[in-house]
Structure 1
Amino acid sequence: MTDLSDDTADARIARLEEHVAHQAHTIEELSDQLAEQWRVVEQIRTKLDRLTERFLMLEEGSREAPAITRPPHY
């Protein structure tokens, strides 16, 4: 009976080790994906900041433009 319980325990330990290895691999993949997504978010944030700055500059420029009193086709 000892041999059977040892085999069962060994098989159980092997399954648990396999499960832990699979979980560690999954965690590593998720960590890599999260890091990549964070890089993308930072790139988008930088672009948004530049576009916001550009928009504000254009908006300021449009306020300073002289008013057109008559259409250009006259």
Structure 2
Amino acid sequence: MEDRMNELEIKLSFQEDLLDTLNETVVLQQQQLDSLQRQFQLLYQELRTMKDQVGEGRPPANDPPPHY
């Protein structure tokens, strides 16, 4: 009975460690998703700004002047 109890305690310990590791992984992935979402929003805003500039007849800021 003692051996069985020790085995169960060892398994529980490994499961708790695994759960902690998985939780840390999920937290890191959520942080990465949040960061990527912010970057996407910034890129989307920049694209809309460029589209609005072209729609108004102004060339985007990074284009070379027409005489090149």
TM-score, normalised relative to structure 2: 0.83
TM-score by length of 1: 0.76
The structure whose Rg is larger is 1
Q: Alignment length, in residue pairs? A: 60
Q: Which blocks of at least 5 consecutive residues in structure 1 are unaligned? A: 1-8, 67-71
Question: Quick one: higher RCO (CA 8 Å, sep 6+), 1 or 2?
Answer: 2
Greater share of helix = 1
Q: Which runs of 5 or more structure 2 residues have no equivalent in the other structure?
A: 59-65
RMSD between aligned alpha carbons? 1.3
Instruction: Tell me which stretches of 4 or more aligned residues in structure 1 moved more than 4 Å.
Output: none
Identity, in percent, stands at 17
Q: Which residue of 1 aligns with 2:63?
A: none
Is residue 27 from structure 1 mapped to residue 19 from structure 2 by the alignment?
yes
